[in-house]
Structure formats: structure tokens, C-alpha cells
Structure 1
Amino acid sequence: MTVSSRLIIPVLCSAIVASCASRADTSVAYVERPVETIYAEAFDTMQGRQFRQAAAQFDEVERQHPYSEWARRSMLMAAFANYQARNYEEAISDAQRFISLHPGNRNTAYAYYLIAISYFEQIMDVGRDQQTTQQAMDALQQVVRRFPDSRYATDARLKIDMTRDHLAGKEMDVGRWYLRRNFHLAAINRFRNVIAEYETTSHTPEALHRLVEAYVALGIDEEARQVASVLGYNFPGSEWYEASYNLLTREGIALDNAVAQDDPSYFQRAWRRLFG
């Protein structure tokens, strides 16, 4: 979790001094007490970084005083405490319930953001299923779409770029797997998808080079030449252009003269033809 994410916490209450004994589990025995007392104990427990216990105590506020203003506050605080405890499913569930019950509340933007970062922090490496990554992308985009001028949208936009790069990485991982096994058409589809859907990510230069490799392997020299030309124009100093140039040279395939002439209109036409 980034420092910026931890700082984006809604000010839901002022600190109230109280004590709370720590417990081995997170269950809270039902003892009817004033709502302010329960909330204060929950808040102090969270300040002490006992997040699981704090979440249970915030839930107790809602259980004992479901129609109070404190119950509404506690619902979102429980979501945040669960997020801090890395109980992401519970955090998402609490935040979704808050949105359902209080859609017009001023803290609804934060509830959407909390859902998004709960998915975001569960993103696994590119070798695994990317369902959570896609859920993170959808939730982050929803924050930006619903609250474009909020402080949460600013952080969400940064995380969207990181998530897109992760999804592109997954496509590249699958494409390389196909390429190693000589499933060239399947590999081409994956690499083209990276370029079409994730053009602005860090994976685009390699995707172009892998396309050159696949086209050369299939004997489609003209396609290989044009892709390499596009790669050279957009990423002239990259290791991937050097690799494509060396590959075409070994295969006796000359690059288009437009590369040397630095003709922008040629590359625009080539890009549209290849990936439009």
C-alpha cells in the first residue's frame, strides 16, 4: 500500500479518549452501552493498530444502535479497519453496503475508492489468473468516472496506469508462451491485442518485436518489415528495435526506405493498416 493511499482517509470523527482491553479473537460480547462509548473504544483500538478488533467493535456500534448517526460512520470505519487488516473481502462488502444504504452521503466517494484499492492490493503476478486485476481496473475506473474532480480520482488514475500495465504483461506472458511453442497465429493475436488495447504501456516495444519474430517465422516478410519499421520509428533507441533489425538483417529482409527518410505519414498509414 502506498503512503498516499494510507493518507486518503475521511475524517469521520474526532478522537475520543477511552481504553479498550485487547482480546485474542475479534468477537465482541453483547453488553449494552452508550453508542459514544462503543465508538470511542473502536476508534482507539484502531489507533492502536488492532484492526481486526477495531472492525468488530465498529460492527458492534451498528448492531446495538442501528439507526444512529454513529452507525453510519461505523459502517465505513469498519470497512477501513478491515482494509488495514487485509481482510479485503470484508472491506469490500462493508463499503458496498455503505454505498447501497447511503448513496448520497459525502463519504460515498471514499467508499468507492476503498473498494478499488482493496481489489488493487490483491493483484497477483502476471502468471496467475487476472480476474482480480480486471475487477481492480473496473473499480478504479468507476471512481474516476463518478468522482472525476476528487482527490481519490487522482490516485485512481495512477493506479489505472499500473493496472493496465499489469494486464498488458499478462497478455505478453501468454503470447510468449504461444511463440515458444510455435503457435504463431495465437501469439500474433496476443501481441496485437497488447498494441491495440494497451498501447501506452511499457510492453508495446516488445510486443512489436515479438510480432516481427512471429511474422518472420511464418514467412510473411512484408508484415515483418512494416512492423519493424513502425518499431524503429517509435522506439529507435530501444533494445527491441535493435533485436528486430538484427533479425531482419540475418533473414535478408530489408527495412522500408521510409525509416531512413523519417516519413511520419508513412508510419501513420502503416500503424492504421497493421493495428487499426
Structure 2
Amino acid sequence: MKNILAFLILVVVVSSCSTYQETLKSDDIGAKYALADSLYDIGKYKKSLKLWEQIVPVYRGRPQAERVMYKYSDTYYQLGDYYLAGYNFERFVKSYPKSTKREDAAFKSAQSYYKLSPRYNLDQGDTQRAMDKLQEFINSYPESVQIPVANDMVAELGTKIEKKEFEIAKMYNKIAVSQFTYPAAIKSMDNFLSDFPGSEFKEDALFYRLDSAYKFAIGSRRDLVTERLEAAKQYHETLIKYFPSGKYNEEATEMITDINERLAEAIN
């Protein structure tokens, strides 16, 4: 019985493959459409895609075009080809403004661009593009059930961009140790804090600004030390104002203690 069952399964598989290959090579557009549709419905997306690619140009302008274009776009999405999924869903939204699938297509288009966003340390052009597409969706469909998900994705992408910019600013602090370019390090953190006032990296930025200002002051010429210590003291006050019991409290306390001692000596 087991051998008979195995034989029957083999016959069905071979027959299915034969039918697929015959349809793929045939000129029968209706048969291609029917098979592509059935393969899509059972999750055979790779095989389905080869058929969609053949029939999409033929169905443009026909009544079935809307359905074909949606499934064609979604096939790319299901296969994880998010570049072509995002592009084709975007075309679908523009081509069929009255479609009942328009909202779903708009969300999947935006989500596709979200999935193309790279790690924070790489170029963030695709991340910004994804944020723009998600914001377009949020603005166009404010009542959508997908809004919470879209907002979460926007927040995640925003944090990724902030982390990228923070790490660039932080790099100036590291470089300054060997090159004594602390003014550039301070300026980079000033710019970051100005551009991202509500960032989750705000505490880090405030600390590294203080760190750069402190090291700049104590490494300066004697006639410039007092003025620069006072500037560092102001940065410490800002850090403590926002984060009185923050994660840098110990290092910041050591710095302000030394700053105050140096300033006291300068007065005496």
C-alpha cells in the first residue's frame, strides 16, 4: 500500500509539473491567468510569478487588470522582493484610486519600503524614503486599523536615523582625543540636540558635549582655561537639569568636582 501511495503521489506531482510547463509555454492567456491565480491562492508564489509576468502586459486596460495587478504586486511582497513589491503596489494605488484594495496596497507599499531600511550604520536614504511613505499612508488613511503599526514603524525608523546621527556626532568626541578638535565635537553635539530635541539619545549627547567641553578646557592654555571651565560647567548644569540621576552621574560628578576645584584655584 505504501508503494502504491508513493507512486500515486509521484504521478500527481509529475502531472502538475507537466501542466505548469505546458501552460507556461502556451499562448493561452486565459489558462495562464487561471493557473497563476490558483498557484497564488495556495502559496506557490515563485511559479505564480512567472505566469503573472507573462500576462500582466496583456491584461492592462482589461476589466481583470485591477485584480491581476494586485496579485502580481502581492506576489513580490510574499516572496520578500520588497523593492519590486513597494514599486508595484505604489503603481497600483495610483492606477486604481477607487479600488477596495487601495488601502491595503498603500500599506503594503509603505511596509515594503520599511523592510528595505538598512542597519543604522549604513546610508539611511531608504530609511527616510520609508518614513515618507509611511507618513503618506498615515495622512491618507487616518482611520485605518494599520495606523498603530504604521506609527510604530515610523518611530522605529526615526530612532534608527537618530542613532546614525548620534554615532557620527560621537565620533568627533573620539577623534578629538588625539587631534584636540573639541570645538568640532561640541558643535556636532549641539547640532544633534538642535535637530533631535526629543531624542532617546539626548542624555548621551548632553554627556558627550560636557565631556568634550571639560577636556577642551583642561587642555587649553592657562589664559583660556577659566573661560572654558565656565562653559563646561554650564553644560554640566544642563545635563543635571534633564537627568539628575542619570547613567552618567558618576562621571559627571567627577568632572564638576574637578571643574569647581580648578575654578576655585584660579580665583585664589
TM bucket (normalised to shorter chain) is 0.7 to 0.9
> Per the alignment, in what secondary structure is the counterpart of residue 56 of structure 1?
helix
The residue that corresponds to 2:192 in the other structure is: 194
The residue that corresponds to 1:177 in the other structure is: 171
Structure 2: runs of 5+ lacking an equivalent: 1-14, 218-227, 263-268
Q: Distance in 2 between matches of 1:78 and 1:253?
A: 71
Equivalences for residues 127-166 of structure 1 within 5 A: 127-166=121-160
AA matched with 2:197: E
> Per the alignment, in what secondary structure is the counterpart of residue 151 of structure 1?
coil
What is the aligned counterpart of 2:86 among 80, 87, 92?
A: 92
AA matched with 1:215: A
More helix by share: 2
The residue that corresponds to 1:31 in the other structure is: 27
TM-score (norm 2): 0.73
Equivalences for residues 70-81 of structure 1 within 5 A: 70-81=64-75
What is the aligned counterpart of 2:59 among 48, 59, 65?
A: 65
- Once the two structures are overlaid, the 10-residue window that deviates more, 89-98 or 59-68, is 59-68
Task: Please give the per-residue CA displacement for 1:9-63, whole angstroms capped at 9, x wherever unaligned.
Answer: xxxxxxxxxx9649999x94453243xx545533443354443333333344433
Alignment pair present for 1:218 and 2:216: yes
Task: Please give the per-residue CA displacement for 1:114-171, whole angstroms capped at 9, x wherever unaligned.
Answer: 2222221122222211111111111111111222221233211111110111001001
Structure 1: runs of 5+ lacking an equivalent: 1-18, 255-276
**Of the two, which has the highest radius of gyration?**
2
Q: Distance in 2 between matches of 1:51 and 1:100?
A: 24
CA positional deviation for 1:207? 1.2
- Once the two structures are overlaid, the 10-residue window that deviates more, 168-177 or 76-85, is 76-85
Q: Distance in 2 between matches of 1:23 and 1:174?
A: 57
8 Å contact 2:24–2:32 — kept in the other structure?
no
> Per the alignment, in what secondary structure is the counterpart of residue 177 of structure 1?
helix
Alignment pair present for 1:248 and 2:248: no
8 Å contact 1:59–1:75 — kept in the other structure?
no
CA positional deviation for 1:253? 7.0
8 Å contact 1:178–1:186 — kept in the other structure?
yes
The residue that corresponds to 2:236 in the other structure is: 228
Q: 1:149 and 1:173, CA in 2 relative to 1: closer, same or farther beyond 3 A? A: same
Alignment pair present for 1:238 and 2:242: no
> Considering only aligned residues, what root-mean-square deviation do their CA atoms show, in Å?
3.1
AA matched with 2:207: H
CA positional deviation for 1:226? 3.3
**Structure number with higher relative contact order (C-alpha < 8 Å, ≥ 6 residues apart):** 1
Aligned residues: 233
Q: 1:97 and 1:231, CA in 2 relative to 1: closer, same or farther beyond 3 A? A: same
AA matched with 2:136: Q
